[in-house]
Amino acid sequence: MTNTYESLQVGDGFTSSRVITAADVQQFADVTGDDNPLHVDPEYAATTPFGKPVVHGVFLLGLASKVLGRDFPGHGAVAVSLSAKFLRPVPVGEEVTIEVKVSEKIERFKHVKIRLYGYVNGKMAIGGEAVVIPPSE
């Protein structure tokens, strides 16, 4: 369902979940060139405080971007800005839930401010905000 500026209300939201596999992380590393061993090398990651490979933070932002541009507000939405804080590591192989919620309508530009959250094992792993131009239809 596509939501327009007019149809969106403060408090409207959407959630999406996905398990991030080692193959997903490797593909992300291949595409971006970010092959930090913390993400792709289990032996190296075992020597870190995390104990095992963790998902790239920007990969998580990519999941949020997918939600904003495809799921909510819907196809044709355009992100104007996106900011986030990474609050805890997301181990590879875990399910991540992305939640977005309209926090403000910006009448002057017909934009919406959206709070975004990412959860793993019921705990917040990422928190942030986006400003989005909703689809016109």
Question: Would you state the pLDDT for residue 129?
Answer: 98
Helical H runs in the chain?
22-32, 37-40, 42-45, 57-66
Which CATH number is 79's domain given? 3.10.129.10
Nearest to 50 by CA among 58, 59, 42: 42
Question: Would you state the pLDDT for residue 136?
Answer: 85
Answer whether 0.85 is exceeded by the pTM. Answer: yes
Number of domains in the chain: 1
Q: Is residue 27 part of a domain?
A: no
Q: Is residue 29 part of a domain?
A: no
Q: Is residue 90 part of a domain?
A: yes
Spell out the residues 6+ positions from residue 113 whose beta carbon is closer than 8 angstroms to its own: 102, 103, 104, 105, 106, 129, 130, 131
Question: Would you state the pLDDT for residue 137?
Answer: 74
Question: Would you state the pLDDT for residue 7?
Answer: 94
What tokens does 101 get?
């919620």
State the pLDDT confidence band at 15, using cuts at 50, 70 and 90: very high
Structural domain containing residue 94: 13-20+54-133
